[in-house]
Amino acid sequence: MAITLGDTEREALWRKEVRQFIDTEAPAALRSGSEEFEGSLFGRLGAIKEWREKVAAKGWIAPSWPAKYGGADMSVVDQFIMNEEFAESGVPGNVGGFGVMMIGPTIIEHGTEEQKSEHLPKILKGEVIWCQGYSEPGAGSDLASLQTRAVRDGDDYIINGQKIWTTGAQYSDMMYMLVRTDPDAPKHRGITYLLVDMKAPGVTVRPLTQLSGAQGFNEVFFEDVRVPVKNRIGEENRGWYVGTTTLDFERSSIGSAIGVRKQLESLIRQAKSGKGEASFTRNPKVKSEFVDRWIECEVAKMLSYRVVSMQVKNLIPNYEASMCKLFSSELSQRIAGLSMHLYGMHGNVRNRAAMGYMQAVSSTIAGGTSEVQKGIIATRGLGLPRG
């Protein structure tokens, strides 16, 4: 049976529309290869804000949400094409953040009408920044072992405990989190899903400094934090099933696959320039590494295509999505290693190569460790027994 990777006529028109929107509306500072605002954090943040407003005005801020809740109600293929074009151009794809990707769809699926009316419009307008409170010091890969407690007290829950690796918590207004409400129940039960105001008394955020010096993750402590019962999503003690609901149709990781290729292309331009220490002129031995990495970038893209082709057929990618995540995240580390090889001893200086190398360390941890992904592939893909 022949396999066609090209667009249909309708898909080609949609791709053209997305490209034209990017060409006319995307700030130059965000596009691939742009030198504008380089080194200026405030300039880039301003450009991201401008881009978010333009995507929202176009009605594309929440691609998968139903139209009645303000979403674009896009098909799987339309989402894929839009994400692919955004990634190819280098502009941010998920400008709606966790609000659009995670908590918004969860509220749509499991929330009350009052909760939808209160939270969904604010998410679409970007008025509230959300973070996720899942992982704990003793409950990362085995999330169901979480111990942060919430005790019912009249119309409130009182929370005590700690979350960790909370992305962007220091900038967030709200957190969606899992807490244990029945310590005697089996660990996958007795868990409740709550929405917490990050400015509530008793909430303390402590940023974690990474190898690169960045502070993307945080510890969050809860000491007698009161949360109204009306902020519960779904039933008490049934939060595990709310929290694990897969609502985001775009699971192909096409943005990651293209992102690593963009990194490689940038490195190739540097290597071919003949300028500075990071060039083929100074270090010709790395050419074969570039060939290997380029082939792997194509493999990553094909894995993404496999996932979206399953979704088009109303199949649910499981181990296939894990293969995408595992391969792309480990590839990003190999490309970071290639950058260090290209720079040679100059890679030990705190430069672009060194920063990228240190930042790549977390890629096989965030979003599910490589060990977790391999376990899913082994048991669900290969049918091997659980070890």
Task: Give per-residue pLDDT as tens, 304-361.
Answer: 999 999 988 988 888 999 999 999 999 999 999 999 998 888 877 777 788 888 888 8
Catalytic positions, please?
250
Report, as an integer, the average pLDDT of 139-147. Answer: 86
Predicted local confidence at residue 36, as pLDDT: 43
Distance CA 76, CA 249 (A): 6
- Which alpha helices (H) appear in the chain, and where do they start and end? 9-25, 41-58, 76-89, 97-98, 104-110, 113-125, 239-243, 254-273, 287-312, 319-343, 352-360, 370-376
Domain with CATH 1.20.140.10 in the chain: 254-381
Q: Please give the torsion angle defined by the CA atoms of residues 198, 203, 209 and 210, in that order, rounded to the nearest 10 degrees.
A: -60
Whether pLDDT at 160 is above 90 = yes
Which is the CATH superfamily of the domain at 254-381? Butyryl-CoA Dehydrogenase, subunit A, domain 3 (1.20.140.10)
* Percent of the chain predicted with pLDDT > 70: 93
Whether pLDDT at 1 is above 70 = no
Mean predicted lDDT score pLDDT of the chain = 89
Domain with CATH 2.40.110.10 in the chain: 130-240
Predicted local confidence at residue 95, as pLDDT: 87
Which is the CATH superfamily of the domain at 130-240? Butyryl-CoA Dehydrogenase, subunit A, domain 2 (2.40.110.10)
Predicted local confidence at residue 31, as pLDDT: 75
pTM (predicted TM-score):
0.85
Q: Which residues pair with residue 219 across a beta bridge?
A: 206
CB burial of 201-231 (b: ≥16 within 10 Å; e: otherwise) equals eebebeeeeeebeeebbbbbbbeebbbeeeb
Predicted local confidence at residue 34, as pLDDT: 47
240-284: per-residue pLDDT in tens? 999 876 444 456 788 888 989 998 998 999 888 877 677 887 778
Which pLDDT band holds residue 41 (cuts at 50, 70, 90)? very low
Domain with CATH 1.10.540.10 in the chain: 9-95
Report, as an integer, the average pLDDT of 145-173. Answer: 96
Q: Tell me which of 229 and 97 has the higher pLDDT.
A: 229
Q: Residues with Cβ < 8 Å from 387, sequence gap 6 or more?
A: 375
Of 42-46, 175-179, 291-295, the poorest mean pLDDT is in 42-46
Report, as an integer, the average pLDDT of 208-226. Answer: 91
Predicted local confidence at residue 33, as pLDDT: 52
- The CATH architecture that domain 9-95 belongs to is Orthogonal Bundle (1.10)
